Chain A
Amino acid sequence: MAEKVLMKGNIAIAKAAIDAGLDCYFAYPITPQNEIGEFMSKTMPELNKTYINAESELAAINMVIGACSTGKKAMTSSSSCAIALMQEAISAMATAEIPGVIISVMRSGPGLGHIIASQGDYFQATKGGGNGDYHTIVLAPSTIDEAVEFTHRVFYLSRKYKNPAMLLADGFLGQMMEPVELKKYDFGEVDSSDWELDGVGENENKRPPRKLVSLHMGGDDLIVLNNKLQKKYKEIEEKEVLYEEFMMNDAEIMITAFGTVARVAKSAILTLRQNGVKIGMIRPITLWPFPSEVVKKYSKQVKSILDVEMNEGQMALDVKASVETPVKIEILSKLGGDVIRARDIVNKVMEMNYVGIM
């Protein structure tokens, strides 16, 4: 094992992106992810790569589109109310089938809200604020080691499916430090030579022109495109689902939680287990595609589900949609940056009438 170093989540994400082969970084400052841009502004020029202080998040994400249309690896990083500004472009990116990586380090909303951590952008990330039938691939790390791995993975998935892919972290993960091993994950390079824009060439090397556009007004073009996209989304749903299963073997209660909150839930589960409560957790890692099958599977085993989130219970909607049998689903929710602690979860489980605890 390589040496572990103490590092902020934001810095680890930035380093991982560079290890993943990042060519261009474009962004606009917003707390709590500023360390990413500050690190990039120093490191990218040193590596003879592109760094631009974009004039807005609109500009940043559209620069990503431009760079990625040439087959290069580009990303932006931002947070909540500023990710909101990017939604038009993310929809366009999905429609034009241009890859691109977005790092979203959530603060609390709605509106400008507060800079403190929350998980209020589950809907924004997975349901999209952009228009039309598209999906963004969304991975939610819960440790900094995972943030490193998933940064590599979002670059890979984004290029593999020519689709926007997002790393959805929260302010805690961005700002916290823990020992991290900056592993280099090799998912294999994705060949982009058959679609990237590099000019049509000339003479015997002349090829037909390529277009990467989101306007499809001719004839059935948009219908055909939508069918193609849906087929792709289906494939992603079949192949790319990731989740963590924690103490679910004999569980009678299933917690569903993602990101940092899932770590808090683990602490609570360990406490509850010591007190004889048969409780476990399914932690979705890909928030889209959502791990519906495993949630469905365990919903038949457990007596109840407790969805724990630092938002109004946004993911619970996907949990409910995954469940077929009648099972009680409760939500433990805290909003506006209010922190969920292990004792909150323990108390909630006690409220749910499981006696013999504490």
Chain B
Amino acid sequence: MSELCNQEKTVFSRPKTIKEDYDYTFCAGCGHGVVLRLVAECIDELNLQKDTIAVASVGCSICLEKYYDLDVVGSSHGRAPCVATGVKRAKPNKIVFTYQGDGDAATIGMNETIHTACRGENLTTICINNTNFGMTGGQASATSIIGQKTATTPLGRDPKLFGYPLKIAEMVAMCEGSCYVARCGVFNPKSIIQTKAAIKKAFENQIAKKGFSFVEVLCACPTGWKMSPVESMKFIENEITKTHKLGVFKDT
């Protein structure tokens, strides 16, 4: 008994892929911090840090090099899959992933996302979907749900005026070159555990050279949504998931 008490067991610590002096600048309740950590944990657990090159994008996802003890190459808005394609083709034995928002991967960069999936590039893409442009102040993105009030759909997204939400995971799943496509969320402990499992699978697929893995993660943007963090979690669970349904769309 006394032996057991004397043993210290670390049950939670900073993943080594996250820098010691990292300083998240995310808003309270934002999902980015959680997902960045999940990605870092997966990289640690798969012992990938040494060989990983991260591709940053534009949006709140932009400053990967601030947080990660990884080589990072930046990209213009929507072009992260292209930059990642270039990196991976030049260095096929490195692990390459993009970390993008929905404004990036599903709106301005939808074309690139789809073509990268169709080419079956052996890459991992993490797409943070908070259904708006968080960094620029909460404007509507392609994925904003019907009725969602944003800075540029002030009365709510009316499909007659603003069209319908784009469902990027379903689209990627249709591409023959994608091997794994999942939509997860980070709005309660269970969903976080499921998200980590999906991210890990997406990296494992790359190690196994299976093709393009795409993990969409529904995240809160309390500032953009003008909600409290708690309200935001409920909004994901009760509203967003009705449009952007959770699940694994493809696993080959």
Residues of A within 8 A of B (CB): 23-24, 26, 50, 52, 54-56, 58-60, 62-70, 72, 74, 88-89, 92, 96, 98, 197-202, 205-206, 209-215, 217
B111: chain A residues at CB < 8 Å are 55-56, 59
Chain B 42-72, CB-CB to A under 8 Å as 1, else 0, gives 0000000111110110100011010011111
Hey, which chain A residues are within 8 Å of B62, CB to CB? 215
A sample of 13 cross-chain residue pairs with beta-carbon separation below 8 angstroms, ordered by A number, consists of: A23-B90, A59-B111, A59-B115, A63-B89, A65-B86, A68-B90, A197-B71, A197-B72, A206-B50, A209-B19, A212-B74, A213-B56, A215-B58
Closest Cβ of chain B: how far from A62's Cβ, in Å?
A: 4
Contact A209 B70 (CB under 8 A): yes
Quick check: B73 and A96 within 8 Å, CB to CB?
yes
Q: Besides the contacts A96-B73, A209-B70, what 13 more A-B pairs have beta carbons closer than 8 Å?
A: A24-B86, A24-B90, A52-B85, A58-B112, A65-B82, A66-B90, A67-B89, A69-B73, A70-B90, A70-B94, A197-B72, A199-B71, A213-B56
> Known interface pairs A198-B94, A199-B94. Does A50 touch B74 (Cβ–Cβ under 8 Å)?
no
Partner of B79, one of A52, A59, A201, A213: A59
A66 touches B74 (CB 8 A): no
* Ranked 6 nearest A-B pairs via Cβ: A66-B86, A213-B74, A62-B82, A67-B86, A66-B83, A55-B115
> Contact: B83 with A213, CB < 8 Å?
no
The B contact surface, by secondary structure, is mixed
Q: A200 near B50 (CB under 8 angstroms)?
A: yes
A-B contact count (CB 8 A): 143
Report B's interface with A, CB cutoff 8 A.
19, 49-53, 55-56, 58, 62-63, 65, 68-76, 78-79, 82-91, 94-95, 111-112, 115, 119
Q: Across the interface, which residues of B come within 8 angstroms of A54, CB to CB?
A: 82
Q: Within the assembled complex, what's the spacing in Å between the Cα atoms of A18 and B176?
A: 32
Given A24-B89, A213-B56, A63:B72 Cβ within 8 A: no
Known: A26-B86, A52-B119, A58-B82. A96 touches B74 (CB 8 A): yes
The answer to whether B91 and A211 touch across the interface, beta carbons within 8 angstroms, is no
CB distance from A80 to the nearest CB of B (A): 21
Q: Is B87 touching A197 in the complex (CB atoms < 8 A)? A: yes
**B112 to chain A: closest residue by CB:** A59
Chain B residues near A72 (CB-CB < 8 A):
90-91
Bound CA–CA A24/B112 (angstroms): 18
B72 contacts A213, C-beta separation under 8 Å: yes
A210 to B72, CA, bound (A): 6
Picked from A69, A202, A215, the residue with its CB within 8 Å of the CB of B86 is A69
Of B71, B75, B83, B84, the residue contacting A210 (CB under 8 A) is B71
Contact yes or no, A63 B70, CB < 8 A? no
Residue of A nearest to B47 (CB): A202
A212 proximity list for chain B (CB < 8 A)? 72-74
| Interface pair B79/A58, CB less than 8 Å apart | yes
Write out the residue numbers on chain B whose beta carbons fall within 8 Å of the beta carbon of A199. Answer: 49-53, 70-71, 94-95
Q: With the chains together, A69 CA to B69 CA distance in Å?
A: 17
A213 to B97 CA separation, bound complex (whole angstroms): 15
B-chain residues with CB within 8 Å of residue A64 when the two chains form the complex: 86
Q: Note all chain B residues with C-beta closer than 8 A to A69.
A: 53, 73, 83, 86-87
Tell me how far the C-beta of A66 lies from the nearest C-beta in chain B, rounded to whole angstroms: 2
Q: A52-B119, A199-B50, A199-B51 are in contact. Are A62 and B90 (CB under 8 A)?
A: no
Contacts known (A209-B71, A211-B72); A62 close to B86, Cβ less than 8 A: yes
A66 close to B112 (CB less than 8 A): no
With most chain B CB atoms within 10 A of its CB, the pick from A23, A55, A199 is A199
Contact check, A198 vs B71: say whether CB atoms are below 8 A apart.
yes
Please report the C-alpha to C-alpha distance between residue A65 and residue B72 in the assembled complex, in whole angstroms.
12
Contacts of A215 in B (CB 8 A): 58, 62-63, 74
A144–B72 Cα distance when bound, in Å, is 39
Q: Across the interface, which residues of A come within 8 angstroms of B55, CB to CB?
A: 66
- Which chain B residue shows the least CB distance to A100? B86
Instruction: Give chain B nearest CB distance to A82 CB in angstroms.
Output: 15
Contacts of A217 in B (CB 8 A): 63
- Alpha-carbon gap, A98 to B87, bound state (A): 12
B208 → A minimal CB distance (Å): 19
- Among B74, B82, B88, B90, contact of A214 (Cβ-Cβ < 8 Å): B74
Inside 8 A of B94's CB, which chain A residues have their CB? Answer: 70, 198-199
Q: Which residue of B lies closest to A66 (CB)?
A: B86
